[in-house]
Structure 1
Amino acid sequence: MIRRVQIEDVPAIVDLIYGLAEYEKLRHECTVTPEQIEAALFGPNPAVFGHVAVEATPDAAREEVVGMALWFLSFSTWDGVHGIYLEDLYVRPDRRGGGHGTALLAALARECVTHGYTRLGWEVLDWNEPSIGFYRSIGARSRDEWTNFRLTGAELAALAERAD
């Protein structure tokens, strides 16, 4: 089952984020806290949204979060409307192959269609062949003609000083 993230899901979301960081060999860069995720998702002006894949526990007493999709709104100046940018999609390794990833992406596609958003976009590491194959299997296309850039740390601070 796929549903919108709830505040009680925050610990599971943080655990999944760290699982994704580990999978992407970037665990050393991940410093997020439960407080940050709670504020981002449930603060006064949330700018991040989420869906989770849940399964009933063996005793059916509660739900277990087994996957997540965290996203935010983007904007296309060419289309003049919003889209969704998928920041993180992750399903626990022992739950992969059960359709959770497809269901999470389908829920985001429904968000787009329901709200008139014209695109759903995300990035994937170039070595992540299993994910690339999965994305292609649902009809997603890579945009190889684009190169991603990012400023962080000292470079970000140095450019900020030039704004004065």
Structure 2
Amino acid sequence: MSVTVRQVRARARARARARAELAPVRTLVEAYARYEQSAAVVPEDWEGRMADLTAIGRVTVFIASIDDTVLGYASMTREVSTWTGQTFAHLDCLFVDGRYRGHGVGRLLFNAACAHARSVGDTELQWQTPAWNAGAILFYCRTGAQSASKERFTMPIEPTADHHPDSRRSR
């Protein structure tokens, strides 16, 4: 199995190409949300939002594929530690289609994320996975990662009319 990992590169002039490249990833994003038992709904314009965020460097996406078949993806952002004043990479998602797990696809995506973090000067990669996801925990332990036990919290923030994501498009 010859797997290729590529970074989605969106530029303002190539937004349509980035949307097309991200379209097959959407199915995996939806599968990942179901796998993690999330109530999150992937918005209709997900590809456009991700193309925009990729174009401005806010998110980096890697796609693992064989020919035109997308096997998995990883997405990451850069964050800042106010304790150290340094940036670090946050691995938001790493998901491999169940049919392709156990063949090194996840490791290729993880390595691409680490290499990218290194290339932009980050000295740490952080992420979280549900405590019930024993397979992912074992995978990450095998990479040499250290577990940092914390509770993760979320708080929904309702946008105001001036800051609603859809209102930006009409300006």
Normalising by the residue count of structure 1, what TM-score does the alignment of the two structures yield?
0.80
Q: Which runs of 5+ in 2 are unaligned?
A: 10-17, 161-171
What residue in structure 1 maps to residue 152 of structure 2? 148
In 1, distance between residues paired with 2:84 and 2:112? Answer: 22
How many residues align? The count is 146
Structure-2 separation of matches of 1:33 and 1:73: 23
- Mapped pair 1:21 → 2:26: no
Q: TM-score, normalised by structure 2?
A: 0.77
Amino acid of the residue matched to residue 151 of structure 1? M
Residue of structure 2 in register with 1:12 after alignment: 24
Report the CA distance between 1:47 and its aligned residue.
1.8
1:30 and 2:40 correspond:
yes
Quick one: structure 1 residues 54 and 34, their matched pair in 2 at CA, closer, same or farther if it must change by over 3 Å? farther
Percentage of pairs with the same residue: 26
- Which residue does the alignment assign to 2:5? 2
**What SS does the aligned partner of 2:45 have?**
helix
In structure 1, what is the equivalent of residue 105 of structure 2? 100
Q: How far apart are residue 147 of structure 1 and its match? A: 2.0
- Alignment check: 8 A CA contact 2:26 2:46 kept: no
The 2-side partners of 1:85 and 1:18 are apart by: 20
Matched, 1:122 2:133: no
2:64 to 53, 59, 62: 53
The answer for the alignment partner of 1:109 in structure 2 is 114
Change (3 A) 1:34 1:64: farther
